[in-house]
Amino acid sequence: MNAVPHSYVSRLLPLRLPRVCVAVTGSDGTEMVEKAEALVRDNTFLEFRLDYLSRPALALPKIKRFTEYHPHMVVIGTCRRVVNEGRFRGSIASQLDMLAKASAAGCQLVDMELQSALRCKPQQLQRLRARAALILSYHDYRATRKLEATLEKMVAIPADFYKIVTTATTLYDNVVMMKFLEKQSDKYSLIGLCMGEQGIISRVLGVRAGSVFTFAALSPDEKTAPGQVTAQELRSTYRIEQVDAATRVYGVAGDPVTHSLSPSIMNAALRRENVNGVYVALHAKTLKDLLACVRDIPIHGLSITMPYKEAVLRYLDNMDSHTTKIGACNTVVRAQDGKLYGFNTDASGVIRPLEQRITIESAKILERLEPPFSDSKSAELRSTSSIGVWPPRENWLTGRGHERSSGRI
């Protein structure tokens, strides 16, 4: 029996589902529901991870009281088995029973992994769907691969939503996921994203590509999947509720890049200037991977950080005089024709603050710059003829004189 694309329930629910579902865990049912109570004001869509509880059945009465007291909330009940990377140690029969009881407790949606569903009788899944919408889920914790084949296997089982979550080992895996969503989301109600540090693009932009919603963590310490972003970050920093087809994508690219404050700073600036754009951190392990994303997402602008400031030059179609003189680029702009233009703003970041405090002309400056800033900033200081920089360039390159320049002043 094949799935019927967009059943009655799956047509109805996406119309009112928020874009962000917050995963809620706890040491017991009381703690889980207390966390949910703290979320209801700002989050109307929650997932109760029953498999995180040692005795999940004891949480069901508390969940029922919660759903009755908050009828506006949309709740997913999930009880993923250990063999499928969850924490529930019971049998498939026990899992089915737990999900059925979760729906009776007020969970409008229940999540069952494909591996368990394949071992269920059709009648068992039909009974489960009688009380709640079924999310049939599949997780690949190693790679992003065979998405079409996986979906083909999944849609043979009637469900209301099909959830495919993979692991991004490259930035381009996000593009693969989003192209898949764009192609298939008109046929089926899909939830799709990539896990891992490199999967951040799909968590923010997947909803634009056709994912019904995405998942978020309650806090950085309570992630239920690798690379999961907090709900507050998705809403406040990335403004996920406003992301649409017209949203321009920008980012900071480097290796590593998780420490960067640029997403917080730049997204705040985009919000202040009322620009329909989003700025993400791109952990690029290779320039080839990064530039493929620039082309296919597309990404309209990049802040380039270590170790690519020099290596990116060969891929630029044009660059300003500062970039040419310094030999390093920290800003790339993608023009409408797809050409890449490079700029260097590192130098002005040094010169302008100095100009506010001292008279630059004929000034002598003791250089104390550490990598990765030394190359571009030192080159710009030295290229300004009115500034005397010590130690001389040849000493700085060979290391001779470095001890003198970095000694106590």
| Buried b or exposed e, range 217-229, using 16+ CB within 10 angstroms | bbeeebbbbebbb
DSSP one-letter string for 318-368: EE-HHHHHHT---EEEE-TTS-EEEE--HHHHHHHHHHHHS--TT-EEE--
- % pLDDT > 90, the chain: 78
Sign of torsion over alpha carbons 289, 331, 202, 23? positive
pLDDT tens per residue across span 173-191: 999 999 999 999 999 999 9
pLDDT at 359 over 80: no
pLDDT at 365: 62
Sign of torsion over alpha carbons 358, 364, 369, 375? positive
Report d(CA 182, CA 175) in Å as an integer. Answer: 10
What are the tokens at 303?
Answer: 């802040």
Domain ranges of the chain: 8-245, 249-344, 347-405
Specify the CATH number for 8-245; select among 3.20.20.70, 3.60.70.12, 1.10.3720.10, 3.10.129.10.
Answer: 3.20.20.70
pLDDT at 121 over 60: yes
Domain pair 8-245 / 249-344, same fold: no
pLDDT at 21: 97
Question: In the structure, what pLDDT confidence band is assigned to residue 353 with cuts at 50, 70 and 90?
Answer: confident
Specify the CATH number for 249-344; select among 3.40.1380.20, 3.30.565.10, 3.30.43.10, 3.40.50.10860.
Answer: 3.40.50.10860
pLDDT tens per residue across span 365-401: 665 555 544 455 555 555 554 444 444 444 433 344 4
